[in-house]
Chains A and B, each alone.
Chain A
Amino acid sequence: MSHRLPAPLGDVIDRSSVISFTWNGKKLQGFEGDTIASALLANGEHILGRSMKYHRPRGVLTADFWDPNTTVQVDDEPNVRASHRKLADGMAVSAQNVWPSLKFDVKAANGLVGRFLTAGFYYKTFMKPAKLWPAYEHVLAKFAPGGSVDLDTPHGRYDKRHAHPDVVVAGGGPSGMAAALAAAEAGSSVMLVEHEHQLGGHLLWGSNDDRAAANELAAACAAAGVEILTNSTVAGRYEDNWISISQRSHPGVIERLIKARGKTLVGAAGTIERPYVFQGNDLPGVMTSGAAQRLIRMYGVKPGTRAVVFTANESGDSAVEALQSAGISIARVVDARAGEGITSASGSKSRVKRVTLSDGTTVECDLLVTAVGWTTPTSLLNMAGDRPVYDADAARFFPAGPPDNVLATGGMIGDGSRDELIAHGRATGELAAGRAAVVRHRLQAATARAAAVDGPEPDYPADERTPLDRAQHPELYRSTTHGIVDYSEDVSSKDLFSAAGEGFDSVELIKRFTTATMGPSQGKLETVNTVAVLAEARNETIAEVGTTVWRPPYAPISLGALAGRINEPTRVSVLQPWHEANGATPILAGQWVRPEHYGDPAAEVRNTRTNVGIIDVTPLGKLDLQGPDVPKLLNLLYTNKWMALPIGGVRYGLMCAEDGVVLDDGVTARLGEEHYLMTTTSSGAAKIWNWIEMWLQTEHPDWQVHVTPVTTGLTSINIAGPNSRELLGRLTTDIDLDPTAFPYMNVRRGTIAGVQNCIAWRIGFTGELSYEIHVPSGHAVHVWEQLLDQGADLGVKAFGLEAQRIMRLEKGHFIVGQDTDGLSKAPVTGLNPLLKLDKDDWAGMPEVAWTMESGDHPVIVACQPDNGSVVPEEAAQILRAGTTEIVGRITSSRMSPTLNRSICLAQVTKEFAAPGTSLEVLLVSGERITATVQEHHAHFDPEGARLRG
């Protein structure tokens, strides 16, 4: 660590704790508290990377979060901010954008031919001919910036948190800390968010008194109960102070996204020091005054040996003191306030060597420090609707006036001594707390069922703060030479001049065309210089050009933080452990994990058709409907009639959306005088519950109906097959299963396997004699096992979803969403007798009526490939013979174990719907086969003798 300065310089490093790391494979050491960049500089490594487009060598520019030149690869993580990320033991750090090595980069030839890589170069050069783009892309991809991504990187841990603070303070400098402290003392819950690693802001690299004051304020904040989030960024502000905070400091989590509903937001982001635009301004060894002070005072690093300081303000003067304290010789102080200036810097490829001043003299040096002014990071206030206004006297933008629930303090709105900044912060904190109390009271009062509100609403405090003064500052943006404006994107002032010459006259357009301000610094360093250069090129004032609109995020957030924890819920029936123990292959159907089969679905079909099978159909949506107006509701939502369903009856119904498209289907049973049980498709359960409530609440609030979802409260088991009556009969004593007493499409309630209050109905999705029983889920495992025990001699076996799908296809029952789609209006199903146009009203009725009237719609038909060994893929197209005209598609297809041939359902235009029509089906392989339309939807037992038996 040859460039390390002796204590007391280096406030934030702990020299007793040595950290080992590697830099491009070389073993180096740093201290606890170092950033990667400070540790590298301490070891004399001052080139930290190469620029994006021209591959120019780059070193530390700002030595903080925004440093655009120090993006590195750390282990398998690309694009790490080396001037911000803390050094950790064992880190393997390497430079990005270099090939074959950092010191000799082949692509630096770009720098020589830089005039070919001006703004818009890629757009203009590689657009034509379009057919060559793949070749261009292949070459250009090798020049793309960024680190390398390891595709085998394990998924890191990210998280989210919701918070409800009264006051959020963005920025932990003197004003921000004072605001947080005052708000907390006034009784507010406060979050204080600082994007660097410690509170203090610019006091951290200031005088001894400054640093003592920072420590004192930070300690007071902690003592007052302020929640302090360091290494965290307020990334966005949205309506009603919905504030996103990216927290990089939560233990055990790479990054956490905090969604905070602040009642007031205090913007205390301070100012960001602007780089100066001149020839050679991106040479390693050229840095801002803040960078020099941070490196020396916080990290104890010596950034050079012989310095030129170009200063226009106190920060530059303070940098001179810092440099002197580090034993760096001051070759020249160039004071802008005295009319002095610099025009260019030059040097070797790796370091600044001399500076040319405005008066033509040159000064030898290896460090050039600039202090030319400040950018106000008004981003958060912008997001609250504020449009900043340029003040030429202070040479920076200021907020025009954010909304009442967003307040600004500190460097964002003015200048002052430490005590003045703290006083303004305190006043702002008190105001923020007062307004937060009013908002809190209103929110509480607006919550009708909340506990009683404490007292009357407090008075809304007016803003009576004494404003901060604005310090005069010379306007210093660009010298007489051209230099880099956007370091991350390698955009020079010359690029901006030529873009302006091409007619990109608005700052918003020039930003998008040149990509200036669009890099990882999000414009914090570049925007105002871009505006100033554009103003110069167009001979306008900065105020006339205006600034770009700052949008979220304030600083980039990782995608992992936005995604949070992987938290996809799954649902299972209470029988799932049995299924798993008995060899079920699981399938995910929506959120449900279900048994697809238990080994051989074809055998399950044969056993069910021959003996008896049982299937767990719990995911079937079940809604308990009670009240005198249930029939009216059913009549409104189903297409058929429900006013005369007797107690003990079950009816099939089809539902449409208001555009006439099939929405859902299922059976509904009348259990009692005013008591019904509705079933929906498994995927439609939540949707139909919502659908019913919407109709009841909006169109018919006078109807008396209670809707209760009971999907998982009842476990549903379908018992299907010729032996199902015998099997169920062995388990129930109080349900008369005689076909005359309990015919098809009827429902009975009774005791099954000793479990009371079971519901059993006779329906036939599989086409077999079958009973679907709904048993209280607490007893479902018992009932399931009893069915298997008692039916062993009847050949009972469990069957899975696949066997059920095969059997329903053999029977020709369509599935909503499989055989219908988002354009299938009800007549497509062919269930025209169920579409009762003589009812007064039902959802979707007008569209269905007009569709039936026009007759212009496809229909679902059953078809069988003429070669019964071929199973066309689902969604295979049906074409007009010998052409490419699409006339339909296969919607369901399977090999039927019962018929020993392939069977399908299809949607075809009416022209092709007549029984006996030959269809030409295009397989995925490109082969065309023929299939014949069948007379009935049912391929098997079209008369329904089996299920009615």
Chain B
Amino acid sequence: MLLVPCPNCGPMNAADLSYNGESHRRPDPKTCTPEEWRTYLYLRENPSGWLLENWYCSSGCRRHFKIERHTLTGELRAPVLPGRKPGATQGDMK
């Protein structure tokens, strides 16, 4: 099981967090087209490589945070707190 670095709690078992999927921008609900909105709802890039993801520290501090994960190697890097500037990297924990 991956160790996922929560910005507050430090490395946590992935099972102690909630995985909220690929990070994506929410379109402006007043002006978006159905295609844009449904892309936001349902379509995912699922790249082979680096992917920006949303995680939620559901069994810990309840922080929502973003992290980049390499979908092939499982490497994780540089979590960014939503609403804050990207912080220092958490270091390689492998």
Binding site for B on A (CB under 8 A): 238-240, 242, 261, 403-405, 439, 442-443, 445-450, 658-659, 690, 693-694, 697-699, 701-702, 840-842, 845-847, 850
Contact = CB atoms under 8 A, between A and B. Distances in A.
A212 to B, nearest CB: 40
Interface in B2-43: 2-3, 5, 7-11, 13, 20, 26, 29-30, 32, 34, 37, 40-41
B9 A240 contact: no
Given A240-B3, A659-B41, A698 B82 contact: yes
Given A446-B11, A450-B10, A846-B29, A698 B1 contact: no
A646 B1 CA distance: 50
Most chain A Cβ neighbours within 10 Å, of B8, B9, B29, B30: B29
Contacts of B20: 694
Given A447-B11, A448-B8, A694 B93 contact: no
A797 B8 CA distance: 50
Contact of A240 (B30, B56, B62, B94): B94
Contacts of A847: 37
B37 to A, nearest CB: 5
A239 B10 contact: no
B10 A694 contact: no
A238 B74 CA distance: 11
Contacts of A701: 82-84
A294 B27 CA distance: 70
Given A439-B94, A659-B41, 11 more contacts: A238-B1, A239-B74, A240-B74, A405-B94, A442-B93, A447-B11, A693-B62, A697-B83, A698-B54, A698-B64, A847-B37
Contacts of A698: 54, 64, 82-83
Contacts of A840: 30
Interface in B37-53: 37, 40-41
Contacts of A690: 56, 58, 62
A447 B9 contact: yes
A702 B83 contact: yes
Nearest to B34: A850
B41 to A, nearest CB: 6
A702 B26 CA distance: 17
B16 to A, nearest CB: 11
Contact of A697 (B29, B32, B82): B82
B80 to A, nearest CB: 11
Nearest to A701: B83
Contact of B64 (A261, A697, A850): A697
A5 B5 CA distance: 59
Nearest to B5: A446
B71 interface: no
B91 A445 contact: yes
| 3 nearest A-B residue pairs (beta carbon) | A701-B83, A447-B10, A242-B1
A308 B2 CA distance: 52
Interface string B82-94: 1110000011111
B94 A846 contact: no
18 contacts: A239-B1, A239-B2, A240-B3, A242-B13, A405-B94, A442-B93, A443-B11, A445-B91, A446-B91, A447-B10, A447-B11, A449-B9, A697-B82, A698-B82, A702-B83, A840-B30, A846-B34, A847-B37
Nearest to B32: A846
A845 B37 CA distance: 11
A693 B93 contact: no
Nearest to A244: B1
Most chain B Cβ neighbours within 10 Å, of A443, A445, A699, A845: A443
Contacts of B92: 442
A284 to B, nearest CB: 44
A830 B26 CA distance: 28
Contacts of B90: 446
Contacts of B11: 443, 446-447
Contacts of B64: 693-694, 697-698
A449 B82 contact: no
B69 to A, nearest CB: 11
Most chain B Cβ neighbours within 10 Å, of A443, A446, A699: A446
B10 A658 contact: no
A850 B38 CA distance: 12
A242 B4 CA distance: 12
Contact of A446 (B1, B10, B58): B10
A242 B1 CA distance: 6
Contacts of A443: 3, 10-11, 93
A442 B91 contact: yes
A699 B82 CA distance: 8
A447 B92 CA distance: 12
B61 to A, nearest CB: 9
A377 B90 CA distance: 36
Most chain B Cβ neighbours within 10 Å, of A238, A240, A447, A450: A240
A847 B34 CA distance: 8
Contacts of B3: 239-240, 261, 443
Given A239-B2, A840-B30, A449 B8 contact: yes
A743 B94 CA distance: 63
Contacts of B5: 446
Contacts of A439: 93-94
Contacts of B8: 448-449
A842 B84 CA distance: 23
A240 B2 contact: yes
A841 B37 CA distance: 13
Contacts of A448: 7-8, 10
Most chain A Cβ neighbours within 10 Å, of B1, B26, B92: B1
A635 to B, nearest CB: 13
B82 A240 contact: no
B63 A697 contact: yes
A702 B94 CA distance: 35
A239 B37 CA distance: 35
A693 B65 CA distance: 12
Contact of B56 (A261, A694, A702, A845): A694
A446 B93 contact: yes
B2 A845 contact: no
Contacts of A404: 94
